[in-house]
Structure 1
Amino acid sequence: MFIFLAVFIIFVLILNFAIHKNNHSQENVQEQFWENERQANFTRRKDIHNLNYLTIPIEKIPQNLHTDAEKTLVRLSSDKMLNLSGITNTELKLEYGAANLDELSSYDANFTEFVSAVNTYAQELLAADQKDTAKDLLELAVSFHADAISIYTTLADLYKEDGQTGHIQDLISSAEEINTLARNIIIENLKTYLP
């Protein structure tokens, strides 16, 4: 009985120590977050005109199906886009100033809309038996480091159908440059296409 009580007391002490240590480290993380956020909110506006904006070459958009996705891509071809996936608002404010956050967010929203429209339009092109055109559009999205799994797997399917399995390794290399949580999932999916 004494041994059981001693083990129980030791367990409670260890548990109490672990909880206290975790609470302390959590407080430090929170304090650091709020300090970064405070600094970010006071960062002066910086020039964002020289950023590496993404633009859709209008000639890359096949304009023959007249779908909503096609119209979206045509509209986006005249808008600025930035792939800010994996970058927090705090990081954006620290880097470019809080005053630029709304503008940068709109460019990122354009990119997100682009990825969605490419995904949809590629499927519409494939349904219309325009495989090469769909492939070109998907390759454009990959060159912009889109992080939609279906863009990569659809392109891998097309490469496999055409006997171009060597291009799948190129897709894996492109996916390795993605800065989001989807990266590892995309890479694992693409590895299943390798011979």
Structure 2
Amino acid sequence: MDQLKDRILQEASIMNNEVLKLDGLLNHQVDPELTVDMGKEFARLFAESGITKVITVESSGIPVAFTTALSLGVPLVFARRKKTLIADPDAYTERVPSFTKGIVTDIMVSRQFLQADDTVLFIDDIIANGDAARGLIKIIERSGAKLAGVGIVVEKAFQAGARTIREQGIRVESLVRIASLEDGVIRFES
């Protein structure tokens, strides 16, 4: 998506050779029109996959996952990171580290919303090391649901996350792949 690449070049901040700050675009502020376009693109890429639900991890993946679910005409489910008083005590749970937050959290999905007869599309904003993605994939596998694939807005291809998921035989579609952030310059893969 050339529009997304242009916006990243205009608005992203490089924190260091591994961290790209996208707060003005994905993680703190959201551009509704661009987000709808991204959702439509994921829906197009996975249109023939028989998706029954779109799934993501809260919170930055929710806007793009929502527009993808809307475009596909299916519900959106998101894995919670915080347990609430009314949370399902029998939820699928997986402990995952967060690369950008520098913490370990549990992600949880209620069994009520993820079942064996579902075919799910996992959408996320950014993939670096892929820990949260692998955690949610484990939850999907335990539920018995079929994982049609993973849609990533920004893949940091110089980190192992997406590659390790592809090595599991899982389809991964990234709207933008960043090859490097070295020397303070964003370099995209073609």
Q: Same fold (TM over 0.5)?
A: no
Which protein has greater RCO, CA pairs closer than 8 Å, 6+ apart? 2
Q: When you count helix as a share of all residues, which structure comes out higher?
A: 1
- Larger Rg belongs to: 1
Question: Normalising by structure 1, what TM-score?
Answer: 0.26
Question: Normalising by structure 2, what TM-score?
Answer: 0.27
